[in-house]
Amino acid sequence: MTGWGEARQACRSHPYAADMLLALGGFVIFQWVAPMVGEQPTPTWFGTGLGLVAFGALAHRRMWPFPVLLVTVGVTATQLLTGGGKSALMLASTIGVYTVAANIDRRLVVAKVGVGSAVLLGTAGTIGSDGHWASADNVGLVLQCALAAAVGAAVQNKRAYLTEVERRARVAEETKEQEARRRVAEERLRIARDLHDVLAHHIAVINVQAGVAAHVLEDDVGQAHEALGHVRRAGQDALNELRVTVGVLRRPDGEPPEPAPGLDRLPQLIASFEKCGLKTRMRADGDPAPVPVPVELAAYRIVQEALTNVTKHSGADQATVRLEHRPGELAVEISDRGRGNGKVNGSGHGLVGMRERALALGGTFAAAPRPDGGFQVLAVLPVTR
């Protein structure tokens, strides 16, 4: 099997040399082998000349399939018309029909080639032998042409099938690689968003409390110590959250080592901002219903980032967080009465991250200054399971 495979590979690598060997082998069979086994009489000088033309043309069958077909069929028909009878010269015309059928991607043309060659050779055989058109020799000629056309068409279909299989495998591999790159990009974006939301909040707390400590250090040492205590706890919380995020990256299955924060942790989050001097009022409207974990996490992070922006940019000392449970959705609104600088057109990543979280769940997001002053963030998240 290995030797046959190597031979086929050699023929594919050197097609012209393979066709030369095919032509030489066909002529040897016609000129010497067939007469020796009694399949045909020894060719005359005229018959030998016809054999040289027909089998010589086969050396160029891949380059000019139609001209080679015309030459081989024409030479075979000439041999039959001149009374040469059935001989191994039919091999040349059979190979010519097969070559066209295997390389022309038009079924109608292949059918015409097979039928035309069969009719021409059958007619020539009938005329040359003065016999009946339905004689065994003529029927054999017709069937031989038809078989060559059928085998050629089958080979062409197999080639087309293998080409399509290879194309689909290539497309599937490319699609797989694109999907892997897309997933990597999404995961990197998610990690960057989580790091930004977590660290921005704690750094904002540290910044505020450090400013308080510096301001009252000389006048109120007790308050300064309290502020520094908040700084230490905020720093520790930031390290803990960073450790959690890095732990997710190190786990082979990518599962978080602890549950993601949800709506039940909003009071703790709001309390951390109140320690920074931001009085935050929280209200919940509507009929509370079970909320999917991804929606709870998105709502928590949006509140966290929005209050961080209030602390850093608005100059406000009061904010409102409102959760409205609607049929099939959860509305999260954060508003303040500050200077209204929410960096809608800024270069920060806070609003971008909040918008991405909402849109990733199929929700909507809006952030704009309030008509009566301040800033408002509104995210509507679907909760349909």
For 2-11, the pLDDT digits (tens) are 566 677 777 7
Q: What is the pLDDT of residue 49?
A: 95
Confidence check: pLDDT of 342 > 50: no
Instruction: Name the strands in the sheet holding 318-326, side by side, starting at the edge strand that comes first in the sequence.
Output: 279-286, 318-326, 329-336, 375-382, 364-369
Q: What is the pLDDT of residue 346?
A: 43
Q: How far is CA 54 from CA 47, 76, 96, 279, in A?
A: 11, 8, 10, 101
Confidence check: pLDDT of 173 > 60: yes
Confidence check: pLDDT of 55 > 90: yes
Range among 37-51, 101-115, 131-145 with highest mean pLDDT value: 37-51
Average pLDDT score over residue span 139-165: 88
Q: What is the pLDDT of residue 311?
A: 83
Instruction: Indicate the pLDDT class of residue 289, thresholds 50, 70 and 90.
Output: confident
Instruction: Indicate the pLDDT class of residue 347, thresholds 50, 70 and 90.
Output: very low
The residue among 322 and 308 whose pLDDT is bigger is 322
Weakest mean pLDDT among 35-39, 226-230, 303-307 = 226-230
Average pLDDT score over residue span 10-36: 90
Confidence check: pLDDT of 339 > 80: no
Phi and psi (nearest 5°) for 167?
A: -65, -45
Instruction: Indicate the pLDDT class of residue 345, thresholds 50, 70 and 90.
Output: very low
* Claim: this prediction has a pTM higher than 0.75: no
Per DSSP bridges, beta strands 329-336 and 375-382 are antiparallel
Q: Which of 87, 78, 16, 35 shows the shortest CA–CA distance to 53? A: 78
| DSSP secondary structure of 293-315 | HHHHHHHHHHHHHHHHHIIIII-
Residue 100 amino acid letter:
V
Instruction: Indicate the pLDDT class of residue 184, thresholds 50, 70 and 90.
Output: confident
Weakest mean pLDDT among 78-92, 97-111, 206-220 = 206-220
Range among 274-278, 280-284, 308-312, 370-374 with highest mean pLDDT value: 280-284
Q: Which residues neighbour 234 within 8 Å (Cβ) at sequence distance 6 or greater?
A: 202, 205, 206, 209, 272
What is the rounded (10 degree) CA torsion for 199, 368, 281, 269?
Answer: -10
Weakest mean pLDDT among 123-132, 148-157, 359-368 = 123-132
Query: How does pLDDT run across 262-272, given as a tens digit for each residue?
Result: 899 899 989 88
d(CA 213, CA 206): 10
Mean pLDDT, the chain, whole residue set? 82
Q: What is the pLDDT of residue 76?
A: 92
Confidence check: pLDDT of 108 > 60: yes
Confidence check: pLDDT of 239 > 80: no
Weakest mean pLDDT among 66-75, 174-183, 321-330 = 174-183
Q: What is the pLDDT of residue 254?
A: 47
357 neighbors 193 (Cβ within 8 angstroms): yes
Query: How does pLDDT run across 119-128, given as a tens digit for each residue?
Result: 888 888 888 7
